[in-house]
């Protein structure tokens, strides 16, 4: 087996549809592992094949997540920062800190605990469908359905008071607006941080039945305010946009595959497998936090040296023909067993049960309320957000 070239090779990570970026798919079919430049300093190894990505994500001892720019040569920046403080941000932590926080949070994200939110999620979805029906088509499904529903679910989860929810949603929308300038994004992030600090302070005084309140009651002395703020902010950023983009892109995918849409609309037993297949086929999160190798490791015929950065591409891995039969075909009857739509290993998405529940409710509810749902613009006019690290649509004009 030949070693891949070690000189960094620029590649275009932009996606132009549902699949992985064409250049990344080509890397998977050729070298599998190459070295690429990064926007934050040193180059990184890029993994594109399912087996290599899964092996790396499953080996937390060999691939460290909690590195800092001081661990890297030159003038490196940290691409993982969500706020100015990593406290509570599981995406930037290794054991034992990661283990400690994850152990506290995991009981709050079991399927059984998430069932407490189910009636409220159904109510939120129905309220938005009622509003769409009153308004009539055409409508932008992204701004009227896909974006606001996960935002309100996060409000329920975090205990955002009803009086604050309109402002909370607007602030969240600004935070996730990729057309905003750097100064506008920084201002929105500062506002969000200040709000979360106030939310945690109020919960300290009077803990409710929401996630923050339960964490305070059960782990009061083990969690700092900064950690609680970091957890809340992570859930907002990681739990809102991902589900929103899945709802928008997933609806478009089903509209383009009407026989698959009919199964999701008409057969309750088809909904769960359909969600898993959409997670695999769409793979909206292109990558996760880059890892730092703690020892020399061989992956895909390449020797990754201690101190090297390692990145990975989930869309390419989830459509690897070595892992999935006929991977380019959307098949909602497929029994997907090993997709990495929620990552893998110790950093597997904590909120996966909640995201699955939201999609399992929102997809069939939309299709059953509007059985004639269809695009209100020519198919070629649907705009993908090609520059964003979380893949999605700029808008989705539909009618019925």
Residue 82 lies in a domain: yes
Residue 2 lies in a domain: no
3-state helix, strand, coil split of the chain in percent (to 5) is 50, 10, 40
- pLDDT of 85 reads 59
Q: Is the peptide bond before 138 cis (omega within 30 degrees of 0)?
A: yes
Residue 339 lies in a domain: yes
- Scanning the structure block, which residue is given the tokens 């500062």? 190
Q: What is the number of structural domains in the chain?
A: 1
Would you place residue 177 in the very low, low, confident or very high pLDDT band (cuts 50, 70, 90)?
A: low
Q: 195 and 159 in contact (C-beta within 8 Å)?
A: no
Rounded CA-CA distance 33/215 in Å is 41
Helix ranges restricted to H, 136-224 = 141, 148-158, 165-175, 182-205, 211-219
Residue 186 lies in a domain: yes
Return the SS3 of 309: strand
CA 234 to each of CA 84, 90, 343: distance values in angstroms, whole numbers, following the listed order: 12, 8, 16
Residue 384 lies in a domain: yes
Residue 54 lies in a domain: yes
Residue 255 lies in a domain: yes
Give tens-digit pLDDT for 91-122. 778 888 889 888 888 888 887 778 888 999 99
Rg from Cα positions in the chain: 21
What is the length of the chain? 400
State the pTM of this model. Answer: 0.91
Residue 43 lies in a domain: yes
Would you place residue 6 in the very low, low, confident or very high pLDDT band (cuts 50, 70, 90)?
A: low
- pLDDT of 1 reads 46
- Note down the domain range covering 149: 11-399
Indicate the average pLDDT of the chain. 89
**What is the mean pLDDT of the segment spanning 74-95?**
69
Count other C-beta atoms under 10 Å from residue 201's C-beta: 12
Rounded CA-CA distance 239/331 in Å is 26
Q: Examine the pLDDT at 58 and tell me if it is beyond 80.
A: yes
Q: What CATH number has the domain bearing residue 117?
A: 1.10.630.10
């Amino acid at each position: 087996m030949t070693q891949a070239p070690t000189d960094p090779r620029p590649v275009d990570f932009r996606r132009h549809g549902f699949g992985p970026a064409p250049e990344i798919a080509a890397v998977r079919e050729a070298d599998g592992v190459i070295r690429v430049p990064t926007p934050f300093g040193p180059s990184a190894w890029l993994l594109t094949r399912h087996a290599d990505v899964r092996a790396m994500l499953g080996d937390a001892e060999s691939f460290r997540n909690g590195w800092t720019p001081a661990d890297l040569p030159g003038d490196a920046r940290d691409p993982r920062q969500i706020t100015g403080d990593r406290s509570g941000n599981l995406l930037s932590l290794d054991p034992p800190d990661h283990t400690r926080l994850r152990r506290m949070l995991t009981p709050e994200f079991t399927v059984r605990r998430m069932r407490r939110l189910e009636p409220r999620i159904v109510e939120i979805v129905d309220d938005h469908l009622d509003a769409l029906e009153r308004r009539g088509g055409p409508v932008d499904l992204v701004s009227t359905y896909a974006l606001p529903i996960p935002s309100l679910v996060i409000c329920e989860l975090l205990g955002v008071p009803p009086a604050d929810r309109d402002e909370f949603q607007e602030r969240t929308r600004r935070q996730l607006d990729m057309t905003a300038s750097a100064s506008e994004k920084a201002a929105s992030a500062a506002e969000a941080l200040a709000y979360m600090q106030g939310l945690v302070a109020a919960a300290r005084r009077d803990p409710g039945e929401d996630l923050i309140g339960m964490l305070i009651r059960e782990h009061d002395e083990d969690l700092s305010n900064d950690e609680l703020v970091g957890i809340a902010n992570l859930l907002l950023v990681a739990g809102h946009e991902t589900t929103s983009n899945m709802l928008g892109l997933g609806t478009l995918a089903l509209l383009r595959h009407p026989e698959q849409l009919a199964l999701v609309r008409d057969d309750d037993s088809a909904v769960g497998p359909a969600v898993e297949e959409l997670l695999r086929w769409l793979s909206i999160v292109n990558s996760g936090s880059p890892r730092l190798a703690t020892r020399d490791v061989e992956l895909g015929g390449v020797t990754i040296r201690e101190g090297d950065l390692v990145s990975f591409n989930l869309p390419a891995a989830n459509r690897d023909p070595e892992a999935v039969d006929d991977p380019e075909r959307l098949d909602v009857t497929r029994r997907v067993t090993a997709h990495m739509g929620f990552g893998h290993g110790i950093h597997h998405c904590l909120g996966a049960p909640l995201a699955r529940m939201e999609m399992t409710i929102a997809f069939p509810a939309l299709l059953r309320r509007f059985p004639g749902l269809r695009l209100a613009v020519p198919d070629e006019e649907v705009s993908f957000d090609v520059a964003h690290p979380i893949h999605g649509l700029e808008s989705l004009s539909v009618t019925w």
